Structure 1
Amino acid sequence: MTVNRVQPPLEVVLTDVNAKVVEAWRAAFADTPGITIRKGSILDTTVDAWVSPTNARGLMNGGVDAVIKRHLGAGIQLRVQRAIRDEFGGRLPVGSAVCVPSGATNPKFLISTPTMEQSSQNVSETLNVALACAAAFQAIHRQNNAAPGSIGSVALVGMGAQTGRVPARVCANLMWTGHTLFNDHCFDDYDDLRNTIVAQLDDIEKAPAEERVRITPPRRATARR
C-alpha cells in the first residue's frame, strides 16, 4: 500500500493556443479552485513540471511534444524513452506516465503521458484523454511521494484536442475528471487507475456533452491526505 505524505495544494495551469479549448476549460473548471486558465503556449509558463501528450514510444515528433523537444533539446526525448524502457519495457500504455528531469530550471520535470498509441491517431471516440490526464497527475503523486514538494505546480495543454481530434468540450470535461481524481485519490499503480476509469466511464458517450463525471475509486485506492 502506498504511503502518502501530506502535500501542499498543487497549482495547475491550463494553457493552450486554441481559444475553443480555453473556453471549454473555463466552463468545465468554473467551480474548481487552484486552477489558472490562460490562452498561450506552454513554453510561456513558469512551473515545476510540464505535461506533454505523447505516444506509446515517446517519439516527440509531432504536436506539443515536438514544440517541447525543440525548446528543451533532443536529450529530453532520450530521457523520456529511457524511462519508458526502464519502467514499461519500451512501450508506454495509455493511462500511464513517466516523469523525468528536464535538464532545465523551468520546468524542472517533464511528464509524458500517451493520449494515443501512434502519432496523429484519432482518439475522439476513446477515453484516452481522461486516462492520460489522470496518469499525469498520478505521476505527480509518485514524484512527490519519492521527493516531497518537488512538484508544486504543473502546466497542461488541451490533451488530445489537436492531433487527437477530441472536441474541445469533451477534452475539458475528461481533463476535469482526471484532475478531480488526483485531488481525491492516489492509486497504488497505473493498472488500478486504468481499470477504475474504464469501468466507470465506459458508457460516457451516452452522457450529454456538457456533463462532467466524477470517478469513485474502489477501496484499494488510497485517499489523498
Structure 2
Amino acid sequence: MTQTPLRVVLSDVNAKVVQAWMSAFADTPEVEIAKGSILNQHVDAWVTPTNSHARMDGGVDAVIKRHLGAGIQLRVQQAVRSSFGATLPIGSAVCVPSGAANPHYLIATPTMEQSAENVRETLNVALACAAAFQAIHMQNSLERGTITSVALVGMGAATGKVPPQVCANLMWAGYTLFKDHTFDNYDDLRETVHAHLSDIESRPSERVRMTPRRRR
C-alpha cells in the first residue's frame, strides 16, 4: 500500500462522466467527485491524459498547456526521452515539476499513441489511470510525501471516445489497484492489468478489482 495518505479528486466538465463516476465509486467515499475544470482543483498534482509522443495539442493536454505555458510540454517530453526513449508507452507515466504554485507536479500518462484516436475498444484507460498512480508512488518513494493530493479527469472519455460508464469503471479498477498494491515497475503493472481485463469487452458494464500475481 502507499505510505502517504492520498487525497484523490475526480473532476470533469462532462456531466455524464461525473454521473458515471458517482456510480462506479459509490463504495469508495474517500474519492472526491466534482463537476468542473481540473484547473480549479488545488492539489499537489494534476494528471493529464496525453499521447505516446507527449504532444500536448488536444483535449485536456492543450487546456493544461495553455494554463501552465509551453514550457510544460518541453519538460514532459524531456522526461519521456530520459526514462523511456522516443515514446511513452501506454501503461506508463512521467511526473514533472509544473513550474507553478498549483499544482506542484504534472503527471502525463498516455491513453492513445497519436493525438486523436478512438480507444473505446482498448484497456488504455485502465492502463493510463493505474500508471498515473504508479507515478505518484514512485515520486513519493523518491521524495516522501511530495504528492498527497491529485486530480484526474475522465480519461479517454472525450477524444478517446470511451463511453462514460466504461471510463468510470476502468478508472475505478486503476484506482483500487493502486490503493491495494504497489509495483516495482510499469512492466509488472501492465501485466496485471492485461491479465485481469483482457476480456473486458465482453463485460463492459462490470467493475473488476485487480490483484497482482504472486511471484515465487
CA distance in 1, matches of 2:118, 2:33: 25
Tell me the residue number matched to 1:184: 180
Structure 1's unaligned 5+ residue stretches are none
CA distance in 2, matches of 1:188, 1:135: 12
TM-score of the pair, normalised by structure 2: 0.98
Q: Map of 1:80-91 to 2, 5 A cutoff? A: 80-91=76-87
Q: Does 1:116 align with 2:116?
A: no
The Cα offsets for residues 122-180 of structure 1, whole Å up to 9 and x where unpaired, read as 00000000000000000000000100000000000000000000000000000000000
Q: Does 1:102 align with 2:95?
A: no
CA distance in 2, matches of 1:177, 1:71: 30
Query: Residues 59 and 103 (structure 1 numbering): CA distance in 2 closer, same or farther, change over 3 Å?
Result: same
Residue in structure 2 matching 1:42, options 38, 41, 53:
38
Number of aligned positions between the proteins: 216
Task: Give the share of equivalent positions with the same residue, in percent.
Answer: 71
CA distance in 2, matches of 1:87, 1:37: 32
CA distance in 2, matches of 1:169, 1:208: 8
CA distance in 2, matches of 1:220, 1:16: 38
Structure 2's unaligned 5+ residue stretches are none
Corresponding letter in the other structure for 2:125: V
Q: 2:116–2:160: 8 Å Cα contact kept in structure 1? A: yes
| Cα offset, 1:181, TM superposition | 0.4
Secondary structure of the residue that 1:140 maps to in structure 2?
helix
TM-score of the pair, normalised by structure 1: 0.94
Tell me the residue number matched to 1:144: 140
Tell me the residue number matched to 1:23: 19
Moved over 3 A (4+): none
Q: 2:81–2:87: 8 Å Cα contact kept in structure 1? A: yes
| Cα offset, 1:208, TM superposition | 5.0
Q: 2:166–2:204: 8 Å Cα contact kept in structure 1? A: no
Q: 2:137–2:182: 8 Å Cα contact kept in structure 1? A: yes
Alpha-carbon RMSD: 1.3
Q: Map of 1:130-141 to 2, 5 A cutoff? A: 130-141=126-137
Q: Map of 1:140-219 to 2, 5 A cutoff? A: 140-209=136-205, 211-219=206-214
